[in-house]
Structure 1
Amino acid sequence: MAQAQVSREFGQVYAYFGHHKCASLWIRRVFEELSAGLGLKYVAYSSWLVFDPDEKPIDQLYAADFLTAGLSLGARSFAFTDAHPRHVDLFPPGTRSFHVVRDPRDIVVSAYFSHLLSHDIDDFPSLARHRQQLAGISKEQGLYAVMDFLEPMFDDLRQWSQRPDVLEVKLEDLMTDEVGGFTGILRFLGLLPQVGTERLAEVLDTNSFSRMSGGRTPGVPDDGSHFRKGVAGDWRNHLTDDHLSYFLARHADVLAKYSYL
């Protein structure tokens, strides 16, 4: 797939690459507000097709068309929140971007509650079927089912190329130090001087976990909320030794790749 063709007059392009259940809604909101403050037109792409290996070639075509259309309409700030490794290569040379990952074990636990209770299923037919499946089985069996459902996404993480032009960021680091984490992202993108630390702090406060969850502090769970708990390491409270054995047999390499093992 060829890269999008962009004239020099269009200027610098910025991108955020994220994944399902990696706080992508939070990061998208922050990135969108920061972009708006800089006068950068922002658009976001996500697709349930990435969860079906047979549909990934179609998703790649959709993603390429979306990017080309966005660029032609003046967008310079992009969020690809169900990112496939090949999506990076669609962007024009010189794009400044960052990629956010999360402990895959926490992804499983977060996805279980979200898939069962809170995630929008209107444009996600495979998730609608998956929700019916989860509703009819125990939590113990449901966690196995979620691991299977997320297999294509973990394969994306496995294939992802860690490259010097894309900043690799752990969600856990952003959660521990939001201002410091996003300061590093903006510095890598070359946008820190234009944004400034005061504006960044304002945007992060506007989009804090407490505000987005209706007043809860991180660590106080609401299983029916899309913003369920807001902490790292919750997998220890839900995954049994058998769950972990099942997961490690399939994805130990993914944990090791991102230094979670």
Structure 2
Amino acid sequence: MGGIYWLASYPKSGNTWFRAVLANYMSDSEAPVGINELNTGAIASSRGWVDDVIGFDTADLTQAEVQSLRPQVYRWASRDDAVGYHKIHDAYSCDDDGRPLVDDLATLGAIYLVRNPLDVAPSLANHNGIDIDGAISLMANPNHALARGTKSLKDQLLQVMGTWSDHVNSWTRAPDLNLMILRYEDMLAKPTEAFGQALTFLGLSVEATRLARAIGFSTFEALSSQEAQTGFRERPGKAERFFREGRAGSWRETLTSAHVDRIIGTHHDVMTRFGYLDAEGNLPLP
């Protein structure tokens, strides 16, 4: 049976790393897949993908009209026996009739990648070419969206985000969604176990040697080296590089106490839920 597995995340939470492992695993090659060839599936917000499926130019439509079409696009795109693994940064949402953006008949399941917001903030700042205070403000903005502007045609469609907490809750509490939650920190600490469980969830059989090679081809050092040699087409123009740190806890070297207090003050409940704060609301020891 065909359909779509969504690889969902707030930006800078490990989606590209996950797709690198998946692409290398599916390739099963003796050489790593190029970072500009991570063809696990188009991003859900790709205007080109949507245009190809519906057969006309969405530039002639309003953003609201395009958003209303997207569930039908995903249903139509999944009509054959192929299985796709598509990146998505949109928050999980439903229209006024209760129809999910990620059409339920098209969707086989979703992996939601979550990362400590203390580490997301400096990575997002680098990605957007803004200061850390600006990134923290974006993560706290309930009206935050990507590609919202209408002055020029973008290759990405509108993506409603909300706050970091809103985004996490939207996916991890989505009703009737076949969901696996994968923490960035567990991908780092227990890669064989974490990626193995994810591949099984995605309906793929797990071969130990093949998985070890895919993980080895997708280390931060390997991906960063590729970016230095070939560039990376997903790097935004404002960012010096896409692969910046790739560590857990690097926020301790970057954020001030005021930064930390702002993030915890806004996202306390969700941070506690996912183990980024202890039961008393305190940061765990390094």
TM-score, with length taken from structure 2: 0.63
**2:11 is the alignment partner of 1:23:** no
- For the residue of structure 1 that corresponds to 2:196, the secondary structure is helix
TM-score, with length taken from structure 1: 0.68
For residue 171 of structure 1, report the CA deviation from its aligned partner: 0.6
Aligned partner of 2:179 among 157, 166, 170:
166
Structure 2 residue aligned with 1:213: 224
- For the residue of structure 1 that corresponds to 2:168, the secondary structure is helix
* Identity value in percent: 22
RMSD: 3.3
Structure 2 residue aligned with 1:80: 87
**2:248 is the alignment partner of 1:232:** yes
Structure 2 residue aligned with 1:45: 43
Where structure 2 has 5 or more consecutive residues not aligned to the other structure, the ranges are 29-38, 48-61, 94-99, 142-161, 228-238, 278-286
Counterpart CA distance in 2 for 1:260 and 1:58 is: 39
- For the residue of structure 2 that corresponds to 1:95, the secondary structure is strand
Q: Conserved in 2, the CA contact under 8 Å of 1:44 and 1:81?
A: no
For residue 106 of structure 1, report the CA deviation from its aligned partner: 0.6
TM-superposition CA deviations, 1:228-247 (whole Å, max 9, x none): 11110111112112112222
- Aligned AA for 1:144? D
Structure 2 residue aligned with 1:70: 77
- For the residue of structure 1 that corresponds to 2:240, the secondary structure is coil
**2:235 is the alignment partner of 1:244:** no
TM-superposition CA deviations, 1:92-145 (whole Å, max 9, x none): 3771432111001111011112221xxxxxxxxxxxxxxxxx3xxxxxxx2121
CA shift in 2, pair 1:189/1:74, >3 Å: closer
Counterpart CA distance in 2 for 1:94 and 1:224 is: 35
Counterpart CA distance in 2 for 1:233 and 1:48 is: 32
Q: Conserved in 2, the CA contact under 8 Å of 1:35 and 1:77?
A: no
Structure 2 residue aligned with 1:123: none
Match runs of 1:1-261 below 5 Å? 10-11=1-2, 13-35=4-26, 42-47=40-45, 60-61=67-68, 63-72=70-79, 75-86=82-93, 90-92=103-105, 95-116=108-129, 134=130, 142-150=131-139, 151=141, 152-154=162-164, 155-162=166-173, 165-192=178-205, 195-214=206-225, 224-261=240-277
Which has the higher mean CA deviation after the structures are superposed, 85-94 or 239-248?
A: 85-94
How many residues align structurally? 212
Where structure 1 has 5 or more consecutive residues not aligned to the other structure, the ranges are 1-9, 50-54, 117-133, 135-141, 217-222
